[in-house]
Structure 1
Amino acid sequence: MNTGIWSEPPRHVLGVPVAVQRFVARGEHAVVVVRSVEAYPTGCLVDVLVLARRGSLPSEVWARVVRDLAPLPPDRLPPRTDLRFGIEAGEGYRGRAFETAGSSGSSDDSYDSEQRLWLSPLPPGPFAFTVEWPGLGLERTALELDGAALARAAEGSEPYWP
């Protein structure tokens, strides 16, 4: 089901990349980074890197972390992980974030994932991209982003065909 601008970036528009390269959260077993944001007139793609390392975690805890983060087919329920992303913006903002794509890999002692989250519409002013992962020791933290700056960048986006 295609719900239009709310669920994915426009298919025939070249977005404008905005470098961010900032840590959202860092802990003993996990790191979350926003690498960049790609701005479109109808929203933005947030490029997120998630890394985890086993370290001193017991093998059964690590196995659960890796299992819970494994991608599932679209017809299955979402993973049971307690890794959560969120958006906090000014009062009255009613946007949503959807995971649009991603890739991941794991080994006996590490996990890495690149995720792209679609946020639509763009918040009109500053907003917080939040993350929490209590199971790996990350309390809720936020990275402030400027919705107005992303909207200005989106003005440079172009349709593939005139």
Structure 2
Amino acid sequence: MTFFEDYPEPPEHPPHTPPTSPAWAGPPADELPGVVPVSAFVHSGERVALALKSVDVYSTGCVLDLVWTVRRAGRTEHEWRDVLDKALTPRGPFQPGSDGLLVGVGFGDGRKAFAAATGPGTDDGAEDVAGPVLVALGGGGAGGNDQIVEGTSRYWLWPLPIDGRPVLVAKWDGLGLPESSLSIPVESFPEAARSVRKFWVE
């Protein structure tokens, strides 16, 4: 027998059930999306390029996966340091104000969705939001050197557009990217949506 043989077991706590997020807030956590490869430029210039790499299609919406790159191309050391500061801050392209990467989606009926760090409001339920909603999910892989800086940015678009011809619009004044646009290939979305799989089948 040891001194701690009768040490009391900690009480069991019931598992915590997190609140259900509205559909507009982000992709479903229990789905493997269908992927639409796009690989098309939103803008390609002498110094800066932005492309839509692919679209992850879920049952309720889609994630737009953007890649961007900027090259020095004759900038002075001071000018290039300013570019790196704008691109590699902790918030990267998601800086507040017009110096950051501005992204939106326009629809043929005049509706617009502007990317934001959050959706319509944390207290709003999905049933109270008509959409469309575009939420900045963040990015990754941003890095740079003496000649080039590059990174990725991801956006959740809700609800899933399956007709019309929505247009992705972007500009980044801080890095010299003018307002540019690209049609989103929604004609491929129905087939991609049919390939969505649940991680767990109840």
- TM-score normalised according to structure 2 size: 0.69
Cα offsets for 1:75-111 (capped at 9, x unmatched): xx93552432111113264312222132111112211
Q: Which has the larger radius of gyration?
A: 2
Q: Which residue of 1 aligns with 2:116?
A: none
Bigger relative contact order, structure 1 or 2 (CA pairs below 8 A, ≥6 apart): 1
Determine if contact 2:68/2:150 at 8 Å carries over to the other structure: yes
In 2 relative to 1, CA 2–106 (structure 1 residues): closer, same or farther, beyond 3 Å? farther
- Bigger mean CA offset, 115-124 vs 24-33: 115-124
Query: How far apart in 1 are the matches of 2:35 and 2:78?
Result: 40
1:6 to 20, 24, 31: 24
Query: How far apart in 1 are the matches of 2:39 and 2:90?
Result: 28
Q: How many residues align?
A: 159
In 2 relative to 1, CA 67–79 (structure 1 residues): closer, same or farther, beyond 3 Å? farther
Determine if contact 1:68/1:79 at 8 Å carries over to the other structure: no
Identity between Structure 1 and Structure 2 (%): 28
Q: Which residue of 1 aligns with 2:149?
A: 111
Determine if contact 2:139/2:152 at 8 Å carries over to the other structure: yes
Determine if contact 2:36/2:188 at 8 Å carries over to the other structure: no
Q: Report the secondary structure of 2:157's partner residue.
A: strand
- Bigger mean CA offset, 55-64 vs 119-128: 55-64
- TM-score normalised according to structure 1 size: 0.84
In 2 relative to 1, CA 142–131 (structure 1 residues): closer, same or farther, beyond 3 Å? same
Query: How far apart in 2 are the matches of 1:151 and 1:34?
Result: 19
Q: Which residue of 2 aligns with 1:99?
A: 136
Query: How far apart in 1 are the matches of 2:191 and 2:24?
Result: 20
1:49 aligns with 2:67: yes
Q: Which residue of 2 aligns with 1:139?
A: 178
1:17-96 aligned within 5 A: 17-72=35-90, 78-79=95-96, 81-91=99-109, 93=111, 94-96=131-133
In 2 relative to 1, CA 153–69 (structure 1 residues): closer, same or farther, beyond 3 Å? same
Higher strand share: 1
Determine if contact 1:32/1:51 at 8 Å carries over to the other structure: yes
Unaligned runs of 5+ in 1: none
